[in-house]
Amino acid sequence: MVVATQVPTQSEKVKEMELPIIDLSIERSKVSNLIVQACEEFGFFKVINHCVPEFVIKTMEAESWGFFSKPGSEKQRAGPANPCGYGSKTIGFNGDVGEVEYLLLSTNFQSISQRSKTISNDPIKFRCAVSSYIEEVRGLACEILDLMAEGLGVPHTTPPSVFSSLIRDVDNDSLLRLNHYPPLIKDRDTSPSPFHHTHAPSSTNNLHHHHHHHNYHHHHNHNNNNNNNNINNRIGFGEHTDPQILTILRSNDVGGLQISPEDGVWVPVSPDPNTFCVNVGDVLQAMTNGRFVSVRHRALANSNKPRMSMAYFGAPPLHSRITPLPELLIPGFRPALYMPFTWAEYKKAAYSLRLSDSRLDLFRTQ
Ligand code: GA4
């Protein structure tokens, strides 16, 4: 099967707009209200004055560069991504591709220790860097989730909140993703990525390819065959929403992230290595009964410089039952928009669909 890498379509509008920047050091009640507002309006915001030490970020970044600088054959030792592990160009199991290579890691200590051996020549150093980074970003995620709960007025108890307790749980299913978007080389002959990719067929791919039996909404941007050959603007990671609760993203100083507040409109997010970009995931949209929005985003590999991003996806334990919070429902007036589901069920749905499909629609009550 031949799949062309997606490129943005001509009909798309790019809107210049800045994401809300939230200073975590200001008065707690103010921060919580600002966060709630940002989650309702954009589903995305940036945080400054977070307490993650710079050296923890720098150490993780250095380890990440160390891995991606290795020769391809060595990187393959950490692959294939099933879904965790090293992946190059293919995303998920259903034919999605992009100009990206990545390491997807479970945040579970045992599995990091195991994998480190295939990732680094100094596995202990790698494992320490990853563990420290995860501990810090999980702490930040928990703090933000507690502020959200306070801002929403649920529950009327002290932290940990209903949200943060899910990612604090020992069995949480959170992930760390390291993405490397290589610079686009303009000379076609030396480009590592010509216009068509042969999608390596594996038994998994064949089994899962194009499940059309669900009545989910196939998003219009599955343009796997368009003839826009603009190599300066290729899709690194195609449009999607994050399935989990909350995402904490840090990137180097190279842009590429764009969010889509409405269909066909893309807003570039300016890169800033000193801030974290935070976004609402599908599970949080469901738990807040649609008050918070899990917004579509994508990454373009449109630069001469390599982009590197590190994303922490805070997820509940597999067996957790996700349901809209009763506190946010008003019988007859504001009924539950989503059916209860377990995180395991939701994950299964996500992996049976394409990247750009609207997974949450499968769980809507109306
Ligand atoms: C998008 C968000 C995270 O990167 C991710 C991705 C996952 C993967 O790459 O394995 C998915 C994608 C993401 C959503 C739909 C499914 C699953 C690829 C894919 C086609 C790790 C996640 O949890 O969901």
Ligand 1 and 239: CB distance under 6 A: no
Protein residue closest via CA to atom 8 of ligand 1: 92
CA-based nearest residue to 26, from 6, 42, 4, 49 = 49
In a mutational test of the pocket of ligand 1, which residue from 91, 199, 312 has the highest number of ligand atoms less than 8 Å from its CB?
91
Quick: pLDDT tens for 216-249: 344 444 443 333 345 556 899 999 999 999 999 9
Assess whether 234 carries a catalytic annotation.
Answer: no
Question: Could you tell me the strand order of the sheet in which 175-181 lies?
Answer: 21-23, 44-48, 276-280, 246-251, 307-314, 175-181, 96-106, 85-91
Question: Do the strands 21-23 and 44-48 form a parallel or antiparallel pair, or are they unpaired?
Answer: parallel
What per-residue confidence (pLDDT) applies to 204? 34
What per-residue confidence (pLDDT) applies to 227? 36
Ligand 1 and 96: CB distance under 6 A: yes
Ligand 1 atom nearest 359 alpha carbon: 15
Quick: pLDDT tens for 60-104: 999 999 999 999 999 999 999 999 999 999 999 999 999 999 999
- Output b/e per residue, 310-333; b: 16+ Cβ within 10 A: bbbbbbbbeebebebbeebeeeee
Quick: pLDDT tens for 43-57: 999 999 999 999 999
Identify the burial level of 249 via C-beta atoms within 10 angstroms of its C-beta, where 0-12 means exposed, 13-18 middle and 19 or more buried.
buried
Protein residue closest via CA to atom 23 of ligand 1: 243
Tell me the pLDDT band of 155, cut-offs 50, 70 and 90: low
SS3 at position 176: strand
Main-chain phi, psi angles of 181, to 5 degrees: -105, 105
What mean pLDDT is predicted for residues 325-331? 92
CA-based nearest residue to 69, from 180, 189, 183, 176 = 180
Q: How far is the CA of 137 from the centre of ligand 1 (A)?
A: 19
* pLDDT higher than 60, residue 137: yes
Ligand 1 atom nearest 104 alpha carbon: 21
Ligand 1 and 240: CB distance under 6 A: yes
pTM, full prediction? 0.88
